[in-house]
Structure 1
Amino acid sequence: MTMIDAARRQAEAAHRDQQRKGAAGAPYIGHVAEVARLVAAWGASEPVVAAAWLHDVVEDCGVSLASLEAAYGAEVASLVAEVTDDKTLPKAERKRLQVVNAGHKSVGAALIKLADKLSNVAEIGREPPMHWDEARMLAYVEWAETVVAGLPALPATGLQQFREAAATTRAAIRRRGEAGRD
């Protein structure tokens, strides 16, 4: 079994009972798979693709970085650590730190972060989170754009995909808002 296959299996097991925030309650693993698919399409190495599969397991599933290092090596664990928020901090501080730290990401972590933001922004356009109003959705898109703008060494294709997703999502949010006011 390859490192990527092992990471995929671990992510599938860890996220098994999680769902996205939209009304459809789509399985969360779809987001993780999309992030891994995007970084692979942008030419990422095997450790980066494996880390993309695992990018939320520490933050959301209680998996330790030490266990990731034991299973996949220091490079994968380090990449996951770079894209993991410290959940002991308030949400506003975590978001602020993503902006502040974006420019200090390694190339691999920047790819994962770009794919993560692309997936999240596109999902808001396709299936908005329940209980998020128009202002909150637009604020998320703007914040994601700020994070992505600070990331180093992004592939032109990935950056263009993100920009298109942000524009499409922003338009979808506004259409839904206008429809709700009619």
Structure 2
Amino acid sequence: MVTPVVISANQEKKHSYSDLYLKDELMRSQLFTLIKENTKVMQGCDNFTDSLRVAYLYEKTLDEQEARDIMQALLFAAKKHKDQTRKDKDKTPYIIHPIGVADYILGSERCTDKDTIIAAFLHDTLEDTETIKEEIKEMFGRNVMSMVLEVTDDKSLSKKEVRKRQIETAPLKTEGAAFIKFADKLYNCRDFIYRTPVGYSQEKVKEYLLHAKEMTDSLPSVAPGLKNLLDCEIEKFLSSCGP
């Protein structure tokens, strides 16, 4: 007679944690291939997954399925942006930006709304890749699709018109979209200051930062920590420019 194996609730939970970790490692391996083994991007990925594990394992603010869905969004975004790079001199794989935006939202601001974090990973997919909104809806749901649409600029407009519309629509943003805009502008401003795009003059950087401040001043006040960091970075840069 075979003795049945009795698994305690604690053992089941430990097994569940282990499964998630192994799945993360598998995704990590896939990411490593997609980003051409860029260590800077992998460090950003590791920083984000550390924040995710804290929320899931210790704070219990995300459940297992939510954590899996978020990791799936990271991989989806990495595939969509796989042939794109940032404008810095190192041509860093573009996915470092969505990873950083998502980590600002989860790791810095402690927002644990699953759909907001997923939309943060996908926020540039409609604007900069061949992704269509129906694809996002099918994989991640209507709410994520709506948030991504809300933060997507109309590429048929001139840069001046885009910036004007960003400021006009900022007060109308939903909470999730506002989180993404704060994190996106903070990441971009830090990139412009510390990893200045090739060919950008100090004046062009200043122009972007002033626009970022004006736009985020008009957003709903959902992310005071990110807004404070953004304002400090801008003030420090402008002070260094002199009169």
Q: TM-score, normalised by structure 1?
A: 0.90
Q: How many residues align?
A: 175
**Structure 1 residue 38 and structure 2 residue 134: aligned?**
no
- Identify which of 112, 128, 138 aligns with 1:60: 128
What is the aligned partner in structure 1 of residue 219 from structure 2?
A: 151
Q: Counterpart amino acid of 1:58?
A: L
TM-superposed deviation, 1:171 = 4.8
Aligned 8 A contact 1:124 1:169 in 2: no
Aligned 8 A contact 1:34 1:119 in 2: yes
**Structure 1 residue 4 and structure 2 residue 75: aligned?**
no
- Identify which of 178, 190, 203 aligns with 1:135: 203
- Identify which of 77, 80, 85 aligns with 2:148: 80
Query: What RMSD in Å do the two structures reach over aligned CA positions?
Result: 1.7
**Structure 1 residue 163 and structure 2 residue 242: aligned?**
no
| Structure 2 gap ranges (5+) | 1-64
- Identify which of 111, 116, 133 aligns with 1:48: 116
TM-superposed deviation, 1:63 = 0.7
**What is the rounded CA distance, in whole Å, between the counterparts of 1:167 and 1:62 in structure 2?**
37
Q: Counterpart amino acid of 2:168?
A: V
- Identify which of 77, 92, 108 aligns with 2:176: 108
**Structure 1 residue 19 and structure 2 residue 99: aligned?**
no
Q: Counterpart amino acid of 1:90?
A: S
Cα distance change, pair 16–168 in 1 and its aligned pair in 2 (3 A): farther
Percent identity (aligned): 30
Cα distance change, pair 123–82 in 1 and its aligned pair in 2 (3 A): same
TM-superposed deviation, 1:162 = 1.2
Aligned 8 A contact 1:24 1:127 in 2: no
Deviation digits for residues 154-175 of structure 1 (CA, Å, limit 9, x no counterpart): 2221211111222344356x38
**What is the rounded CA distance, in whole Å, between the counterparts of 2:202 and 2:173 in structure 1?**
31
**Stretch of structure 1 that moved more, 74-83 or 86-95:** 86-95
Aligned 8 A contact 2:102 2:117 in 1: yes
What is the aligned partner in structure 2 of residue 180 from structure 1?
A: none
What is the aligned partner in structure 2 of residue 89 from structure 1?
A: 157
Q: Counterpart amino acid of 2:222?
A: L
Q: TM-score, normalised by structure 2?
A: 0.68
Cα distance change, pair 44–113 in 1 and its aligned pair in 2 (3 A): farther
What is the aligned partner in structure 2 of residue 126 from structure 1?
A: 194
TM-superposed deviation, 1:69 = 0.6
Q: Rg larger in 1 or in 2?
A: 2
Deviation digits for residues 126-150 of structure 1 (CA, Å, limit 9, x no counterpart): 1111111111110000000011001
**What is the rounded CA distance, in whole Å, between the counterparts of 1:168 and 1:22 in structure 2?**
21
Which structure is richer in relative contact order (CA contacts within 8 A, separation 6 or more)? 1
Aligned 8 A contact 1:117 1:144 in 2: yes
**Stretch of structure 1 that moved more, 125-134 or 138-147:** 125-134
TM superposition outliers: structure 1 runs of 4+ over 6 Å: none
Aligned 8 A contact 2:182 2:223 in 1: no
**What is the rounded CA distance, in whole Å, between the counterparts of 2:181 and 2:217 in structure 1?**
11
**What is the rounded CA distance, in whole Å, between the counterparts of 1:17 and 1:171 in structure 2?**
37
**What is the rounded CA distance, in whole Å, between the counterparts of 1:170 and 1:23 in structure 2?**
23
